[in-house]
Structure 1
Amino acid sequence: MKKNNCIIAGGGICGLFSAILLTDYFENVYIIEKESECGGLLKSIKLPNGAIFDQGTHVPNTTLIPEIDNILFGKEEERHLYWNDLGKLRSGNYFNGRWNLINQMLDVRNLPDDIYQKGIIELLSLTKLSQAENIVSFLCETLGPTFTQHAIAPIAQKLYGNEVELSKLVTNSSVSYFGLSRVMALDSIVSKKLKELPAFDEKLAYHNEKDFEQRLRKDKVPQRKNYYPKNNQGVGFWVAHLLKQAKDKGVKFFTNDYIDKINHENKKVTSIELGNCKEKIRCDYLFWTAPPVLALEAAGIKVLQTDVTFRSACIFHYQIDRQLLNTESHYVWNWDSKYKGFRITLYSNMQKDIISNTAKLTVETLCKPDEVDCITLEEMFNELVSIGLVDKSSLILSQKKQIIHHTFPIPTFEFVDAVASHYEQLSGAFKNIHIAGRFAGKNWFHEDVFKGVYFDLKEKFGSTS
């Protein structure tokens, strides 16, 4: 028998997916979204000339769980109508004036020879796995102090700021997220052999696709499919796809609003009050996908204040009058510390269903909030030319700069401890609350978020079949 009211805080991709599932357990499901539209960072934007861009690199992939994937992408036999199957996701990176288009791993052989020779001796001498919790100690114990100082540290400062003390960054949430704890350092034969040893497997990358695919087969790693929308649509199509399903299942939406007050009694949430429309809604189950600290404050629960610093994202979109010089990669990283851009989306290489003489790309930067006006469209376009992605004679057909504040937390120990503390405090405060999404502090990648929600709800409420 279905319960009555479920309220979901947050209309991002996690909230929309969860709402579709929760309609199987509740008569009424409400999504409360502070913005005018759902989707969070996965919304696409359209420029006046019709060019569509995403707010950064977003490439959805399957979870290998049919019930989840059918919601995310539709029935498998119909997906070819709406989705480009990208096959193997192709990335690459630019470092010290050179491209590596094999993978996103840093090639330390691009360092000056004297630094490389010193660094490789240190790397080969480190034969034990590191358990260090801070990123500097971890990298020094894994790659060695020379590669840490001359290769990884400048990139970490590019991402998190020169004023950040790197030893205060948590290993699992900082440079390891970008794949920077594993490098290309030798040749393909030696690297493949060394990777048979656990310590070297953790810090060395394969040098070619053949060796990597062979390893996947050996480890019996199932292959997920990577999709990108067809028909010149951005990742916002994914949001629209989920939004339609939620509406078809009767989900009710309050946009441009927020949960101002959480009423509770005997460790149960009883109702919520909205801040803008002032409506009060009875609540049998609260599904929270926003930062837990907001729920604690709305419930009148005292929260320990912490000094958390966020980076702002400046996102630059360009449509140009000719093809890109890189026609294979889906997205690439710029790890060269003299440039401000760090990730670049190459739409033309994902939208092979579109035949066009023009091309689109998006480059992302991170900075302090008071620095956002210092980075210009002209400067970032010149970077794209300088690193060899765009021909210098290309003309810009359309362009736009987006600024998104409070989007990228600096993963210090204080931040990670605060996230964990707020999660434990909120989950222990009420019996009828579920905390999900990235803000729960357990999962970062979308696939893990979706699977976490799916299995948690099955465990909580049982199967509906």
Structure 2
Amino acid sequence: MPFTAVFSLTYQPNDKSNQCLNVFTTEIFTPTSGEQDEETAMSTQYDEIIVGAGIAGIVAGLLHVRQGKKVALVDSAESAGGLMRTYITPEGKHFDYGTHLLSELGIADLDKLLFECVRNDSWHEFDYLKSGHFIHKTLCERSPVVDATILKEADYLRAMVELVEATANPRDGYDTLSQQLTKCFGDTLYQELLKPAVEKLFFASADDLATNSHLLYGLARVQGFSEQTTRILKQLPKLNDVLAFHSHKEGNGAIKRYYPKQGGIGQWVDHLLSQFCEHGGKLYLNCKITGMSVHEQKVTSLHTDAGELYCQKLTWTIAPFMLLQSTNLHALLPEFAANQLNFLDSWLVHLEVDRAPLTSLHYYNNFDPQYAHFRSTLYSNMQGETENGAHRVTVEAFSKHADTTQISATDILQELIDCGVFPQESQLTYHHVDRISRSFPVPTVAFRQQQQVQVNCIRENLKNVSLYGKARGDIFFMNDVILDIYQSLT
């Protein structure tokens, strides 16, 4: 009888570099009787198997093991954390996979579980984040919310009148994002500011995008009027929905934010994974799922290259199409929904620059279609310059998955210079470019319909499967994903 190889993983954070050492120990079973087969199965029998070791999977796993369940966390990647990882160069430079400052959730026991490990002298604590945006060739440093006052005077005055009129005549039920933004903000704000921004970021026409897609990029509101007038107008619910305060300091409440004084945000992932393993959780990394067994509409086991993993329940936190394929449910889907959903690729451009930034912002979003990059995180404005006097920055950009055009570090630095973020004479002292496949959705109307059919198919045909995070497809912000999981599991 052929042997079965069962891989288990011991998680050990590397204190020196904050990278995890994924130590695999392999036990070889050569079954010669039914009793040994049963013993092998028992060693890989779990109450919960969670697929996807990003933050959604880690938080779900941590909540389950604290309830005394036997839990396995499975991911095909070589390291856990998803986009909350930190890239560490051979020279010891730290770069995050995007802008990821931690923010409390406002639930005491959940905040204690997730953030007690960062409430110490090794982490910065912020009452607010210095965040801004770039639009119409202007770097706006007071708020990440689009500032309408940068428009030409005649356009601005017309835009403010249209905004008030739009909220005075609200309409429910929009078919597309273009309809929604026009009716909620007025035609001028839509044409001059919002439409160019969403079409840049999604690589799709606003006429094709689904409603509320703009929320994924923080475009829920705009700045307008004077500060005092804004405070008065925001007392009206309809205007409060579309009008923002003028400063990132205002309206944030008492929520604390955290970032390490040294290293990257991956340290937080290390803390959570250590808790998961200390409570008996098993972590399977670099583990490929090749199929599943289903009995009476329940997933009973995962076929993986690490062996057979048996489960009572399955939690799925990655794109749903792989689950449909692994269970052959994709054969039940109508033709339009029987394909992978459309996602963009993310580019992470890690730079070290020899000059200090010209702005004190922690991060900013670039909504101007003239530039390729979207968000930039300026580490030295939070942590100070590096030992060699250089300044680190991670820049995020997007591209279509099939696009073969390369994004270069020198081009991105020139964009940062042109946007007034770094001095003209700035030079690179280090750079690394990483492309992450299918990381962000293109939420067209067709995408939403396709997504809903796939999710419904899973829920109707698999009775012991829970969907969170990317698997749901309608919740993308990290704190919203965490709250969804917490409310479901407690």
TM-score strictly above 0.5? yes
Cα deviation code 1:400-426 (max 9, x no counterpart): 111112111111122222223222221
Moved more, 178-187 or 377-386: 178-187
| SS of corresponding position for 1:290 | coil
Partner of residue 262, structure 1 = 292
Partner of residue 254, structure 2 = 223
Partner of residue 463, structure 1 = none
The offset of 1:133, in angstroms, is 4.5
The offset of 1:353, in angstroms, is 10
Where does 1:49-198 land on structure 2 (aligned, <5 Å)?
49-74=91-116, 79-126=119-166, 127-131=168-172, 132-161=174-203, 164-172=204-212, 174-198=213-237
2:478 equivalent to 1:450: no
Cα deviation code 1:406-449 (max 9, x no counterpart): 11111112222222322222123233222222321343222222
Amino acid at match of 2:123: W
User: Structure 2, unaligned stretches of length 5 or more?
Assistant: 1-44
Cα deviation code 1:23-65 (max 9, x no counterpart): 2445531111111111111111122332110111111111232
Q: Distance in 2 between matches of 1:344 and 1:368?
A: 20
2:362 equivalent to 1:320: no
2:246 to 204, 207, 219: 207
Cα deviation code 1:358-379 (max 9, x no counterpart): 2111111112234453422111
Amino acid at match of 2:367: W
Partner of residue 387, structure 1 = 419
Q: Distance in 2 between matches of 1:241 and 1:84?
A: 16
Amino acid at match of 2:458: L
Contact 2:132 2:145 in 1 (8 A): yes
Contact 1:43 1:236 in 2 (8 A): yes
Amino acid at match of 1:450: I
TM-score, reference length from structure 1: 0.88
| SS of corresponding position for 1:456 | helix
Q: Distance in 2 between matches of 1:264 and 1:360?
A: 49
Where does 1:359-438 land on structure 2 (aligned, <5 Å)?
359-371=391-403, 373-438=405-470
- Cα 1:157–1:284, aligned 2, differ >3 Å: closer, same or farther? same
Moved more, 242-251 or 105-114: 105-114
Amino acid at match of 1:406: R
Q: Distance in 2 between matches of 1:133 and 1:80?
A: 48
Question: Which is strand-richer, 1 or 2?
Answer: 2
Contact 1:264 1:271 in 2 (8 A): yes
Q: Distance in 1 between matches of 2:134 and 2:152?
A: 15
Contact 2:104 2:257 in 1 (8 A): yes
Cα deviation code 1:146-178 (max 9, x no counterpart): 2211211111121122xx231221222x21232
| SS of corresponding position for 1:325 | coil
How many residues align? The count is 439
Q: Distance in 2 between matches of 1:444 and 1:82?
A: 29
- Cα 1:407–1:4, aligned 2, differ >3 Å: closer, same or farther? closer
Contact 2:316 2:471 in 1 (8 A): no
The offset of 1:4, in angstroms, is 4.8
User: Structure 1, unaligned stretches of length 5 or more?
Assistant: 217-221, 459-465
TM-score, reference length from structure 2: 0.83
| SS of corresponding position for 1:415 | helix
Partner of residue 321, structure 2 = 293
Q: Distance in 2 between matches of 1:121 and 1:238?
A: 46
The offset of 1:98, in angstroms, is 1.9
Amino acid at match of 1:55: Y
Cα deviation code 1:127-161 (max 9, x no counterpart): 23342242111111122112211211111121122
2:383 equivalent to 1:351: yes
The offset of 1:296, in angstroms, is 2.0
Q: Distance in 1 between matches of 2:364 and 2:394?
A: 11
| SS of corresponding position for 1:53 | strand
Q: Distance in 2 between matches of 1:7 and 1:33?
A: 11
Partner of residue 89, structure 2 = 47
Contact 1:129 1:198 in 2 (8 A): no
Moved more, 106-115 or 388-397: 106-115
Amino acid at match of 2:313: Y
Q: Distance in 2 between matches of 1:200 and 1:67?
A: 34
Where does 1:226-265 land on structure 2 (aligned, <5 Å)?
226-230=257-261, 232-265=262-295
- Cα 1:209–1:431, aligned 2, differ >3 Å: closer, same or farther? closer
The offset of 1:193, in angstroms, is 2.4
